[in-house]
């Protein structure tokens, strides 16, 4: 089993509880409003052709489709894909959900106006190769927009049960950003890919929602960031 296989197995196992947490009714409407505003500011007006890499249960892909974009979401974890397809099927003009590798997306050059990701960069192997491949998929003046945080700056010891069974030392060695102490590490990856006007925006609306509703188990209340750059 490769390191990526172990990552996929972890997220397939986590998919039901992860999706339940994302969909919890007491916060769902507020989340939809906040994330819609974040993505609307991050990207040019709809309709765009968007590739959402590491789409997981499709949370970002669904919000982007709701804004009027034409969205394709890819992931390697079959459990996550199952959940994403379920949500997409219930939505008019929902995203197309496909099995695919975020590091090497199998699409022709210049296929998309934007590439997005949410909570992927920290668990992405070869992020510099991945972002270079995303740039190849962009049309002129296309946008890359990623959302993440520094989830485990002090190591993975405080993570959920069985997390480090999958994210063992071999896996962690393949993930340059997994224990990053600053979001500047992610910024540097986008800049090295040659993107222009790379900017970082703290997501204060999500920070306040986390304060109001609480954060996921074994997570700290911390700022998340939107990082964008243009081809």
Superfamily of domain 3-230 in CATH is Vaccinia Virus protein VP39 (3.40.50.150)
Residue 194 is predicted with a pLDDT of 96
Q: Report how far apart, in Å, the C-alpha atoms of 87 and of each of 2, 14, 117, 173, 193 are.
A: 29, 17, 18, 34, 33
Residue 158 is predicted with a pLDDT of 58
| CA separation for the pair 48, 95 (Å, rounded) | 12
For residue 163 the two structure tokens come to 């997390």
Residue 161 is predicted with a pLDDT of 61
Average pLDDT per 10 consecutive residues for the chain, totaling 231 residues: 91 91 92 97 97 98 98 98 97 96 98 98 96 98 97 77 82 93 97 97 96 84 96 95
Q: Enumerate the domain spans of the chain.
A: 3-230
């Amino acid at each position: 089993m490769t390191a990526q296989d172990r990552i996929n197995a972890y997220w397939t196992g986590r998919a039901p509880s992860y999706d339940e947490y994302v969909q919890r009714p007491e916060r769902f409407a507020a989340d939809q409003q906040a994330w819609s505003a974040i993505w609307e500011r991050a990207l040019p007006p709809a309709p765009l052709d968007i590739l959402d890499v590491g789409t997981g249960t499709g949370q970002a892909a669904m919000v982007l489709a709701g804004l009027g974009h034409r969205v394709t979401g890819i992931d390697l974890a079959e459990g996550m894909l199952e959940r994403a397809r379920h949500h997409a099927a219930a939505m008019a003009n929902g995203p197309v959900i496909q099995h695919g590798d975020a590091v090497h997306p199998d699409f022709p050059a210049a296929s998309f106006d934007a590439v997005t990701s949410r909570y992927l960069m920290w668990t992405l192997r070869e992020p510099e190769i991945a972002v270079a491949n995303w740039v190849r998929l962009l049309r002129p003046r296309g946008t890359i927009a990623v959302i993440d945080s520094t989830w485990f700056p002090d190591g993975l010891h405080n993570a959920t049960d069985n997390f480090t069974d999958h994210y063992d030392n071999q896996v962690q060695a393949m993930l340059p950003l997994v224990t990053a102490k600053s979001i500047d590490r992610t910024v540097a990856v986008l800049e090295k890919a040659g993107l222009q006007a790379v900017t970082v925006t703290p997501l204060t609306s999500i920070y306040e929602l986390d304060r109001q509703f609480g954060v996921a188990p074994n997570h700290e209340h911390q700022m998340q960031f939107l990082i964008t750059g243009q081809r």
